Chains A and B, each alone.
Chain A
Amino acid sequence: MIFVSVGTQLPFERLIRSMDFWSEENPDKEVFAQVGKTDYTPCFMAFSEKLSPAEYTEKVNNADLIVSHVGMGTIITGLEHFKKMILMPRLAEMGEHRNDHQLGTAEKFSHIDSIVIVNSEYELKEAIDEHLSETRNNSVSTNVRTSPELINKLRDFIKTG
C-alpha cells in the first residue's frame, strides 16, 4: 500500500491531485491518502481528511511506500518505521506554505538512503514507478536515535540548571 500524507495544518493539493492521477493510471495499486482540509476531492484513491494517531501509525505500518510533503512528523515517523519515503517540498510561491523552509529540510534529509526528494509532479511519478520496479527488497536500515548528548544535556539541565 502507498500511504500519502500531507499533514493537517495546510492543504497540499498539488501532491494530492498528482497521486489521484497516478492512482487512475495504476488502478491495481492500493493507495490511501490523508488529504487535510482541501478543495480537491480524490476520485481514484481512498482518502480521509485526517487520521487519529492510532490510524496514522497503522497506515505507516502497512505502507510499502510513503509519499508526503517534507514534514518532520512524516520524516521521523517514516524513519522510525524503516519506510521508504518520497517527499515533495511545499512551495511558498504556490501558496502551499508560509515560507520555503521545506526546501531547506529537503536538502538536509536528501542524503538519507530511504528518502527521495522530488520537485515536480513528473519527478514524483518517475520516483514511484522506479520504486515499484525495484526488486522487492525495500527494507530500509536507517538508524534513528535521539542524540545521547542532547538527552544528557536535558537531564542535567532540569536537575541543576
Chain B
Amino acid sequence: MNTKLRVLCVSSSGGHWVQLKRVKQAFEDCDLFYASTEKDYSQSVIGSRFSYVPDASIRSSKLRILWQALCVLGVIIKVRPDVVVSTGAAPGFFAILFAKMLGKKTIWIDSIANVHQISLAGEKALRYVDLFITQWEHLAGERGLHYYGSVV
C-alpha cells in the first residue's frame, strides 16, 4: 500500500513556476504532482507527473477564467492530493480554493516579486490557505503571513 503523501504544486508560467520548483526538496518523500499553464513544462519536472491547465489571469475574459477554474478542479479530482502548494497566480488561487473546499491542506508561497505588498492572487487566497508564506520579512507578522526566508 502506498502511504506517501500526495502533493500537488500548481502555478502559472514564468517566475512563479521557477520559484515553485525551488521548494521541491521539501517534498522528496512525497508523491509529487505538478500543474502549470505551459505544456512544455512537463520536460522540466521529469520524475513527477505533470498536468497542463489553460492560462488565464484577472485580465482574461470571464469565460476563460471559468474554463481555467474547471480545468484546475479536474486536476485536483484526478490527482486527489493531500496537500496543494502554490506560488501564484490565478491557477494557484483556484487550486487552493478547491483543495480547501475538499478538505485538503493548502500552502501559498507568495512570489518573491511582491516586495511591497502581497500579490493580488495571494490576497484572494489568504482566507483559504492553512499556511501563508511571504518571502519578505517586512511583510510577515499580521494576518497570518509567515516568513521563513526565500527561495533565493
**A residues in contact (CB < 8 Å) with B:** 7-9, 52-54, 71-77, 79, 98, 101-102, 104-105, 107-108, 144-155, 157-159, 161
The interface size of chain B toward A, counting residues with CB under 8 Å, comes to: 43
- Among B121-148, those with CB < 8 Å from A are 130-131, 133, 136, 146, 148
CB-based contact A158/B18 at 8 Å: no
Cα distance A153–B140 in the bound complex, in angstroms: 15
Complex CA–CA separation, A145 to B30 (angstroms)? 21
Spell out B's residues near A (CB within 8 Å). 5, 7, 13-19, 22-23, 25-27, 30, 38, 40-41, 43-44, 57, 59, 82-83, 85, 105, 107, 111-116, 130-131, 133, 136, 146, 148-152
Complex Cα distance A146/B21, Å? 10
* With contact pairs A73-B17, A107-B115 given, residues A159 and B5 touching in the complex (Cβ less than 8 Å): yes
- Name A76's closest neighbour in chain B (CB-CB): B18
**Contact of B40 with A76 in the complex, beta carbons under 8 Å:** no
CB-based contact B114/A53 at 8 Å: no
Q: Is the CB of B131 within 8 A of A53?
A: no
List, in ascending order, chain B residues with CB within 8 A of A108's CB: 115, 136
